[in-house]
Amino acid sequence: MSSAPPTRSFRVPALLRAFSPYGEVLRTRGVLPLELVGSLGRVPALAAGIVCVLHVVQTLGLGYGPAGLVGATATIGTAVSSPWRGWVVDRYGLRRALLPTVLAQAACWSVAPFLPYQGLLVAAFVSGALGPPVFTVVRQSLAVLVAPERRRTAFSLDAVLVEFSFMVGPAAGTAIALTSSTTAAMLCIGAAQVVSASAMFALNPPLRSPGGDVEAEGGPVAASERVWTSALLLAMACAFAADLVLSATDLAVVAQLREEGAVRWTGLVLAVWAAGSVVGGLVHGALPRSVPPWLLVACLGAATAPLVLVHGPVGLAVGTFVAGLFCAPVISATVDLVVHGVHESVRGRAMGWHAAATTVGAAVGAPFAGAVSDAAGPGTPFLVVGVLGVCAGAATAVVAARVQLRPRFP
């Protein structure tokens, strides 16, 4: 009698178990509606930049320089107001903080398409300064809704959903602007901003635990009500460095493809880059322990620098996919560090400063990469910002060791 040889089978259940924490997070009461409302607010916010560029260039007939200045003005407004908006949320609650947002978005976007260029600059600043604080509010509420041992998974899931918003927002805004008009696109963005802010007002997600900040994951630092902790400063440094690298990479990809006459592949390469970020975020959230943000910043820089040697859309797609594996993880890791490093009574201010650091990093990265590209060639920014990322990760790691920052990440 002969027995049949054992058959090999893929351990799909084991793979599913590895990602089961995401199911637990989504089943947590309040998380799914929070992420749905958050995505509703992120899509128009991320579409606004490209629509304003198209409006200035196509409708107003100006160049890309003035168009970039509109985006920079909105960015400055966001960066300046983020800490103050966080203080308002901590002091007066979310609904009072959102009332000026609803009014400002309705006013700015309803008149912006019909303003001259100078008026558009003013509207962009006001809209940026009083934009819906979707990114910070969602993360702050996740820290309350989700158990401490599942926060990293929740932040990773949120970072992945942000990547999907990056895919949908600019594409949708561009489609409306090109098929209809930039005026219609701007009015749609304004309406979506008002609807999303109103939905967040109605949802009113919790931003503080019912019994206070009962856990002290960051030890004595988190137990005090100081905003400026070493954890926040290091998280801001890592977030600034990471967003500088990401923003510079974005521009460098466009410059490299344009130099090689392959601009038509830009959207596909950037989509592959975002796909890498999605994969990395999902894996990071499923890991048994968190990875320190300074290590992820160094890895992001180390994966970006070799892109200077890559040519052609296929090579860039592969290279950016690898670099993208660290995008979502590094952002979620910095948020995790902030949440575990400050008391929840000042978490809104801390998240506001974190948002300001990411905004400034993104604002600095693109013009820095443009200057490097003009001076030394389109591929050089990959190397320069990659090295800067490695140095920033190493420097923050040294500082973390010196201040003995060892937050108990789940």
Do the domain assignments include residue 296? yes
Does one domain contain both 54 and 130?
yes
Tokens of 51: 């629509």
In a domain, 409, yes or no: yes
Count other C-beta atoms under 10 Å from residue 119's C-beta: 12
Q: Which two tokens stand for residue 285?
A: 């959230």
* 334 and 386 part of one domain: yes
Q: Considering 158, 188, 205, which residue would you say is the last residue of a domain?
A: 205
Mean pLDDT of the chain: 84
For residues 192 and 224, membership in a common domain is answered with no
* pLDDT score of 388 more than 90: yes
Residue 162 lies in a domain: no
Which among 407, 360, 132, 109 is positioned nearest to 246, based on CA atoms? 360
Tokens of 394: 């190493």
**Lowest-confidence region among 2-11, 156-165, 248-257:** 2-11
Question: How many domains, in total, are found in the chain?
Answer: 2
What are the percentages of helix, strand and coil residues in the chain, rounded to 5? 80, 0, 20
- Rounded Cα distance between 302 and 164, Å, is 25
Residues 222 and 201 in one domain: no
185 shares a domain with 44: yes
DSSP 8-state code for residue 28: S
Residue 230, both tokens:
């070493």
Can you give the pLDDT at residue 246? 92
Mean predicted confidence (pLDDT) in 385-390: 96
Q: What is the DSSP string of 165-199?
A: HHHHHHHHHHHHHHHT-HHHHHHHHHHHHHHHHHH
Q: What distance in Å separates the CA atoms of residue 301 and residue 392, rounded to the nearest whole number?
A: 9
What's the burial of 91, exposed, middle or buried (CB within 10 Å: 0-12/13-18/19+)?
A: exposed
Instruction: Give the domain range for residue 120.
Output: 32-139+167-205
pTM, rounded to two decimals = 0.81
pLDDT at 220: 41
pLDDT at 122: 94
Say yes or no: 175 and 305 in one domain: no
> Is 18 contained in some domain?
no
Q: Are residues 186 and 240 in the same domain?
A: no
Domain assignment present for residue 111? The answer is yes
List, for residues 208-228, the tens digit of each pLDDT value: 877 554 443 444 444 456 778
| Domain presence at residue 21 | no
User: pLDDT band at 17, cuts 50/70/90?
Assistant: low
CA–chain centroid gap for 370, Å, is: 21
Q: Are residues 61 and 110 in the same domain?
A: yes
What share of the chain in percent tops pLDDT 70? 90
What does the alpha-carbon distance between residue 6 and residue 9 come to, in Å, rounded to a whole number?
A: 9
Could you tell me the end-to-end alpha-carbon distance of the chain, in angstroms, rounded to an integer?
A: 53
CATH label of the domain that carries residue 106: 1.20.1250.20
| pLDDT tens profile 258-301 | 888 887 787 788 889 989 999 999 888 888 777 899 999 999 99
Amino acid at 135: F
- Are both 270 and 383 inside the same structural domain? yes
> Mind listing the pLDDT tens digit for each residue in 96-113?
888 988 999 999 999 999
DSSP 54: H
The answer to the question of residue 171 being in a domain is yes
In the block, which residue shows the tokens 């900040």?
A: 213
Considering the domain architecture, whether residues 299 and 395 belong to the same structural domain is answered as: yes
CA distance 252 to 354: 25
Residue range 52-93, pLDDT digits in tens: 888 888 888 887 678 778 878 888 888 888 888 888 888 888
- The pLDDT value recorded for residue 113 is 92
Quick one: 128 and 268 in the same domain? no
| Residue 16 confidence class, pLDDT cut points 50, 70, 90 | low
The reply to whether 144 falls in a domain is no
Nearest in space to 339 (alpha carbons), one of 325, 329, 326, 349: 349
Q: Do 200 and 214 have their domain in common?
A: no
Of 388 and 351, more confident: 388
Residues 6+ apart with CB under 8 A from 143: 151, 339, 344, 347
